[in-house]
């Protein structure tokens, strides 16, 4: 059983629904709740309103992520904002040697997804021509690690020496610093260290682009710095939590720096949103996904979700999903103030890698997991496994097929083995690994947690648990500084 859209995107739920799995009766028991959840999604789209949602300051706050796929005047993504992103593309192409993206949470995880899928692991080792003039990309600000930060600075200084020797010019580095407030410890500490060190290097020309709160009347710390120093700015908009920002300028600035097709990425999200407006659960991918996972957890105790894409460059999709699921649904209290301690635990896995590390647990461990596969139906550049050693029969037996075909056989074998032992699993299929289909997948997952928030009666758009450690950390840092 599967739900397949016109684009070819499909959700195969045959091993998650039916006898011995989530049943028709399970879903029927949620019929009224699903209707209410779907109505709540309509209100969210039209008015940006979600029942009982408040900002971290306890004030009413709109939820606007469902607006992002639509490029319209007055929207967060508008013709004007896309033109502004095009300015960034035009600036970095052929002019900037390296971009250091500084962000944490969604400001790192989402941007890493776009980089991995579009660029791959060897982007920085390619020639300028192979990268079509786009800069090398580095990530920082996602941990307060003195060794890795120092290594990055040393690497950039070494690159600058090479450019000086071979091209007799300065090495141009753009620091893309992403923080709504400008007070994010992890990001801003790395930014200040890197900015200070690179400015001291005579062979490096440093510029900064700030992605932050756009409010100029009451500017945040980073916005004020940008205004004073004349740094170009892009927006971290109100109403879009960090885990959803891959669809706004937070993620799209990265897309602009690598030459990714932003309009196709948003088009995929937009077409998925249109599919998710269907009130028929069997035609609405996000509602169906949410209902099946919710029922699997609540009715069958499957409260761990293993996100297992088949493909190395999709691992970051799984890592992005970890934040989306954990922050959206891991809540101690429901919307009525009742203690519920709700949420599924998300886990990262990659096929075939983790078939050799985690699958023993998936196959024979506790019956508390749903394994969610992601597969790519057609790879852009597939490779045939050659019969290099015909005298070795075991090796000859695996030759003559493509690596993509072998990868899918491995996934199917994992799927069949899990299903044979009462292990719930499902599969999302992308026809090809393109910006359009990536946009479909990520948006569907984002909309799924919105639906599940309504089903579970928790606020899928706040993160009070994150604020708890921040309140403790601030005074500790002040005490540390005072003790020096």
Q: Which two tokens stand for residue 76?
A: 């967060």
Question: Over the Cα atoms of the chain, what is R_g?
Answer: 23
Distance in angstroms (rounded) separating the CA atoms of residues 406 and 397: 12
**How far apart are alpha carbons 256 and 4 in whole angstroms?**
31
Q: What are 209's strand-pairing partners?
A: 176
Which one, of 362, 374, 372, lies nearest residue 421 by Cα? 362
DSSP 8-state secondary structure symbol assigned to residue 348: E
Question: CA 484, CA 473: separation in Å to the nearest integer?
Answer: 17
59-86 as b/e, with b when 16 or more CB fall inside 10 Å?
eebbbbbbbbbebeeeebbeeebbebbe
Q: Report the distance separating Cα 479 and Cα 484, nearest Å.
A: 9
Q: Tell me whether residue 199 is one of the annotated catalytic residues.
A: no
Could you tell me the strand order of the sheet in which 171-178 lies? 136-140, 98-102, 171-178, 204-212, 233-235
* Angstrom distance (rounded) from CA 239 to CA 283: 28
3-state DSSP percent of the chain in helix, strand and coil, to 5: 50, 15, 35
Distances (CA, A) of 111 to 190, 240, 267, 364, 454: 17, 15, 18, 35, 28
Is 339 a known active-site residue? no
Token look-up 């891959």 returns: 246
Q: Which residues contact 210 (CB under 8 A, 6 or more apart)?
A: 177, 222, 223, 225, 226, 231, 232, 233, 234
Q: Which residue in this structure is represented by tokens 């993160």?
A: 463
HSE of 34 in the Cβ direction (CA atoms, 13 Å)?
24
Q: Is 56 helix (H, G, I), strand (E, B) or coil?
A: coil
Distance CA(286)–CA(255), nearest Å, equals 25
Catalytic residue among 61, 305, 327, 452: 327
Active-site option among 356, 366, 481, 484 = 356
Catalytic annotation present for 38: no
Residues noted as catalytic: 327, 356, 470
């Amino acid at each position: 059983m599967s739900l397949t859209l016109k684009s070819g995107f499909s959700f195969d739920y045959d091993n998650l629904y039916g006898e011995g799995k989530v049943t028709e009766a399970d879903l029927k028991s949620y019929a009224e709740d699903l209707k209410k959840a779907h109505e709540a999604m309509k209100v969210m789209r039209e008015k940006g309103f979600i029942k009982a949602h408040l900002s971290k300051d306890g004030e009413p706050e709109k939820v606007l992520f469902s607006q992002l796929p639509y490029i319209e005047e007055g929207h967060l993504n508008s013709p004007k904002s896309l033109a502004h992103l095009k300015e960034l593309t035009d600036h970095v192409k052929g002019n900037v040697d390296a971009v250091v993206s500084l962000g944490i949470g969604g400001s790192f995880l989402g941007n890493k997804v776009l980089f991995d899928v579009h660029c791959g692991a060897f982007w920085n080792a390619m020639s300028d021509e192979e990268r079509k003039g786009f800069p090398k990309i580095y990530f920082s600000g996602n941990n307060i690690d003195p060794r890795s930060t120092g290594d990055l600075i040393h690497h950039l200084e070494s690159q600058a020496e090479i450019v000086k020797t071979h091209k007799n010019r300065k090495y141009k580095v753009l620091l893309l610093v992403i923080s709504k407030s400008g007070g994010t410890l992890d990001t801003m500490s790395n930014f200040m260290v890197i900015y200070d060190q690179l400015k001291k290097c005579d062979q490096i020309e440093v510029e900064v682009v700030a992605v932050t709160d756009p409010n100029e009347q009451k500017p945040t710390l980073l916005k004020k710095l940008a205004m004073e120093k004349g740094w170009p700015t892009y927006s971290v908009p109100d109403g879009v939590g960090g885990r959803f920002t891959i669809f706004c300028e937070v993620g799209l600035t990265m897309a602009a720096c690598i030459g990714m097709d932003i309009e196709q990425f948003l088009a995929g999200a937009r077409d998925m949103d249109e599919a998710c407006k269907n009130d028929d659960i069997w035609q609405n991918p996000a509602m169906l996904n949410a209902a099946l996972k919710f029922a699997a957890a609540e009715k069958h105790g499957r409260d761990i979700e293993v996100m297992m894409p088949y493909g190395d460059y999709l691992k970051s999709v799984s890592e992005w999903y970890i934040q989306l699921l954990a922050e959206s649904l891991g809540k101690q209290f429901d919307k009525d103030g009742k203690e519920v301690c709700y949420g599924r635990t998300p886990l990262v896995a990659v096929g075939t890698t983790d078939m050799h590390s985690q699958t023993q647990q998936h196959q024979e461990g506790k019956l508390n997991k749903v394994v969610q596969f992601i597969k790519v139906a057609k790879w852009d550049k597939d490779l045939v496994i050659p019969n290099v050693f015909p005298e070795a029969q075991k090796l000859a037996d695996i030759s003559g097929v493509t690596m993509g075909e072998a990868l899918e056989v491995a996934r199917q074998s994992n799927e069949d083995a899990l299903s044979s032992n009462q292990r719930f699993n499902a599969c999302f299929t992308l026809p090809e690994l393109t910006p359009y289909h990536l946009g479909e997948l990520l948006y569907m997952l984002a909309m799924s947690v919105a639906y599940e928030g309504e089903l579970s009666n928790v606020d899928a758009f706040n993160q009070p648990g994150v604020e708890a450690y921040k309140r403790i950390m601030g005074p500790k840092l002040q005490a540390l500084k005072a003790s020096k």
